[in-house]
Amino acid sequence: MPYDPRLHHRRSVRLEGFDYSQNGAYFVTVCAHERQPLFGALRAGDTETTVELNPAGQAAQRCWLEIPQHFPLVTLDAFIVMPDHVHGIMFLSGHVHVSGRVRGANDYSPLQEHGTSLTVGSVVRGIKIGVTKWFKENQPCADKVWQRSYYEHVIRNDNELDLARQYIVENPAKLHEHQ
């Protein structure tokens, strides 16, 4: 089928005109392809519902925790790996300018002429690449790991930060209620 912008246009969920490289707090959700439970299962206990991560979920958790090693200007906050998605809060704390160019992860710029910047998108892309690499090495039959794109919310104040943290903590129980 030839490209038709009326049929093939994906509406962006990003804030129009917002600079996703600016300092701040961001709540992100990255979903498994077709919401498959690739990362584990929910376990209902007597008092709480927890997530039992399988090896793929453990790899996703490891990749999330390694973000600051690859993006030193990112600080992690609350996060959870769910059976079919990952929620997390990250803080971007600016750019490092080297030779007049903006640099991202570990002072490395893969772009020759313009450099690269630290953005929410570059961090999400990094975790997706890391987990996909794990799948290719350990479960090569897995065709697709992630849904295209991701969800993000710019956290604007302490109240929104508290609500995002609460959402992450309560997510296993909420998901279990809807199953």
pTM: 0.79
Write down the pLDDT at residue 94: 65
Length of the chain, please?
179
CATH placement of domain 20-177: 3.30.70.1290
Write down the pLDDT at residue 178: 63
Q: What does the domain layout of the chain look like in residue ranges? A: 20-177
CA angle 71, 78, 174 (to 5 degrees): 135
pLDDT in tens, the chain (179 residues): 565 655 545 554 556 666 677 789 999 999 999 999 999 999 988 888 999 999 999 999 999 999 999 898 999 999 999 999 999 999 998 654 333 333 344 444 333 333 345 889 999 999 999 999 999 999 888 789 999 899 999 999 999 999 999 999 999 988 767 66
Contact 81, 134 (CB under 8 A): no
